[in-house]
Amino acid sequence: MRRVVVTGIGAVTPLGGDIHSSWEKLILGESGASSITRFDPEGFPCTIACEVPLGEGLSANDGSFNPNDWVSPKDQKKIDTFILYGIAAAEMAIKDSGWSPRSDEDIFRAGVGVGSGIGGLASIEKTAHILKEKGPRKVSPFFIPGALINLAAGQISIRNNLKGPNLAAVTACASGSHSIGEGAQMIKNNKADVMVVGGAEAAICPLGMAGFSASRALSTNFNNTPEKASRPYDSERDGFVMGEGAGFLVLEELECALSRGANIYGELKGYGVSGDAFHITSPSPDGDGAYRSILMALSDAKIETKEIDYINAHGTSTPLGDEIELRAVERAFEGQVEGLSMSSTKSSTGHLLGAAGAVEAVFSIMCMKENIIPPTLNLDNPSVETKIDLVPHKSKQKEINSILSNSFGFGGTNASLIFSRYYN
Amino acid sequence: MSDTLEKVQAIVVEHLGVEAEKVSASASFIEDLGADSLDTVELVMAFEEEFGIEIPDDAAESILSVGDAISFIDSVKK
């Protein structure tokens, strides 16, 4: 059986322009939320978001993100911001992995899989205005290839000369996790040896904020205290806080990684997928879809529930979803949850939609590397009783050998990933 | 240097990210200046904007070089 290991990680998050600055703030319990600066949010029900911190970037080494570090200003105009984040985080992960092709065959056996929930929403919005105000002849020829979801994978393949499978999972807020899981399948099924996989999202634009507000998904009670708004499991939670960014892993077939002496962060051992067949935006109240997704991942990984040390929850801070996921976990673990820790890093980063599962996979890898569990911020009064340790307020040290990471999306689509420490 | 050449040069430098000295009248957008077919569409749109003219699609297809662009622009401006 072909085994899949993680040999590179990269991220652009609301906490920082790279994984190390993001991780540092995550375990310190800092929030990436603030009033929206990308546009004037006056009149919007929700006026806060978790924006990627823009700044001098690499030259300043201050944890900020500078688009010019990754894509020339000329080319930035031809791509939506979600693709920009994707290109940056993917190149960070590839560099971190140390992988480079030694032959044409290596190039053909290296692919890309990048999901996004919505893709180039800001570009679509901007171009619709141009169309209305100036007519069809003023629409940029780069509009479509700059907004299409799979162009993140396309751009990354072109820039890094990766000629293997080129895919894009589009499963709303599960896109990142599905891209990782499906990328691993490409390796397991011998269609590739290396897959650069992840998710990218940039939907903090008027249309995105108005749309998610209209579907009653966003927090609206904390516009004056943005850092308090994302509060998974807390009784005062009232919706998610929009985030943006990208997360990437380099997945590699084990023998391939060993043969080049790669640093192995861990093994992707289990992947579960399911559908709710229930409602367009609400999760099924019995959590059945989440439950079956978790069970499938456990079975795929061939490990017992007691071996899972930490769960990185989907936990978006919406009134319905958090408790349903919690109950689904308790059911999948048959109530044997004492000593199990589960936190939602969305309490720090907000909800990165189609990038969420990928950024959370990167955080999961860091948890295993550092043996630290990041906290669930703002969890003052849990709305339900549970024996699961929800890691309120402060991160904690714990030996971590296996992690479960869940992602669920609109449409009733579920994904669960299990990462374990690599043993021979 | 004509006014048109100067403006066309500036647009080409901005959109294609090439050095100004390479943007001679004989330079082909695709062969000499590294443009692709989408870049040329965008260049034509930028010329329309800058000079306040309309370049029909059949005319746009025959604008392959900096010199072609200058001749067309000057012909409609007169």
| Catalytic one of B3, B36, B39, B57 | B36
Tokens standing for residue A360: 């959370």
Buried b (16+ CB within 10 A) or exposed e, B32-64: ebebeebbbbbbbbbbbeebeeebeeeebeebe
Best residue of A127, A137, A138, A143 to probe chain B, by most B CBs closer than 10 Å: A137
The half-sphere exposure of A49 on its side-chain side, counting CA atoms within 13 A, is: 31
Average pLDDT in the B38-52 region?
95
Beta strands of A306-371 (E only): which ranges? 310-312, 341-343
Is B58 annotated in the active site? no
State phi, psi for A144 to the nearest 5 degrees: -65, -55
Measured torsion, CA atoms of residues A290, A295, A301, A304, in degrees rounded to the nearest 10: 120
CB atoms within 10 A of CB B2: 11
Distance from CA of A354 to the nearest CA of B (A): 28
> What radius of gyration, in Å, describes the C-alpha atoms of chain A?
20
| Pairs across A and B, CB distance < 8 A | 20
Average pLDDT in the B35-53 region?
95
Q: Find the DSSP H helices in A55-205.
A: 73-76, 81-97, 104-108, 121-134, 143-147, 151-160, 175-188
Chain B residues closer than 8 Å to A158 by CB: none
What is the mean pLDDT of each successive set of 10 residues along chain A, which is 424 residues long?
A: 97 98 98 98 98 97 97 94 98 98 97 98 98 96 98 98 98 98 98 98 98 96 98 98 98 98 98 97 95 98 97 97 97 96 98 98 98 98 96 98 98 98 93
Chain B residues closer than 8 Å to A79 by CB: none
For β-strands A341-343 and A372-373, DSSP reports them as unpaired
pLDDT at B78: 67
DSSP character at residue A221: T
Q: Do A141 and B15 touch (CB under 8 A)?
A: no
Show Cβ contacts of residue A194 under 8 Å, excluding neighbours closer than 6 positions: A99, A106, A109, A110, A111, A162, A164, A187, A250, A251, A252, A253, A256
pLDDT at A165: 98
Quick check: A409 and A175 in contact, CB under 8 A?
Answer: yes
Chain B residues with CB within 8 Å of chain A CB: 14-17, 38-39, 41-42, 45, 48, 54
- Residue whose entry in the numeric block shows the structure tokens 């920009």: A84
CB atoms within 10 A of CB A379: 23
For β-strands A166-167 and A194-201, DSSP reports them as unpaired
pLDDT at A326: 97
Cα–Cα distance for residue pair A81/A400, rounded to 1 Å: 35
pLDDT at B1: 55
Cα–Cα distance for residue pair A37/A223, rounded to 1 Å: 13
| Nearest one of A211, A34, A197, A33 to A121, comparing CA atoms | A211
| Nearest one of B56, B75, B67 to B32, comparing CA atoms | B67
Best residue of B12, B37, B45, B48 to probe chain A, by most A CBs closer than 10 Å: B45
Chain A residues closer than 8 Å to B17 by CB: 72, 74
DSSP code string of B7-67: HHHHHHHHHH---GGG--TT-BTTTTT---HHHHHHHHHHHHHHHT----HHHHHT--BHH
Q: Do B16 and A137 touch (CB under 8 A)?
A: no
| Nearest one of A352, A355, A364 to A405, comparing CA atoms | A364
Is A314 annotated in the active site? yes
Q: Do A141 and B16 touch (CB under 8 A)?
A: no
Distance from CA of A141 to the nearest CA of B (A): 6
Tokens standing for residue A43: 């009149």
Tokens standing for residue A56: 């001098």
Cα–Cα distance for residue pair A37/A55, rounded to 1 Å: 13
Q: Do A74 and B38 touch (CB under 8 A)?
A: no
Among chain B residues, the shortest Cα distance to A145 is held by B38
- Residue whose entry in the numeric block shows the structure tokens 């080129």: A166
Query: Torsion-angle region of residue A23: left (phi > 0), alpha (psi -120 to 50) or beta?
Result: alpha
Helix, strand, or coil (residue A201): strand
Chain B residues closer than 8 Å to A141 by CB: 38-39, 41-42, 45
Helix, strand, or coil (residue A39): coil
Chain B residues closer than 8 Å to A137 by CB: 45, 48, 54
Cα–Cα distance for residue pair A56/A21, rounded to 1 Å: 14
Helix, strand, or coil (residue A164): coil
Quick check: A299 and A291 in contact, CB under 8 A?
Answer: no
Q: Do B41 and A141 touch (CB under 8 A)?
A: yes
Q: Find the DSSP H helices in A198-355.
A: 206-214, 254-259, 288-301, 321-332, 346-349
> Of A72, A138, A145, which has the smallest distance from its Cβ to B45's Cβ?
A138
Chain B residues closer than 8 Å to A78 by CB: 38
Distance from CA of B16 to the nearest CA of A (A): 7
Best residue of A71, A72, A74 to probe chain B, by most B CBs closer than 10 Å: A74
A154 inside 8 A of chain B by CB: no
Cα–Cα distance for residue pair A374/A367, rounded to 1 Å: 8
Cα–Cα distance for residue pair A415/A407, rounded to 1 Å: 5
pTM of the model: 0.96
ipTM: 0.86
pLDDT at A424: 83
A141 inside 8 A of chain B by CB: yes
Is A173 annotated in the active site? yes
A136 inside 8 A of chain B by CB: no
Quick check: A83 and A167 in contact, CB under 8 A?
Answer: no
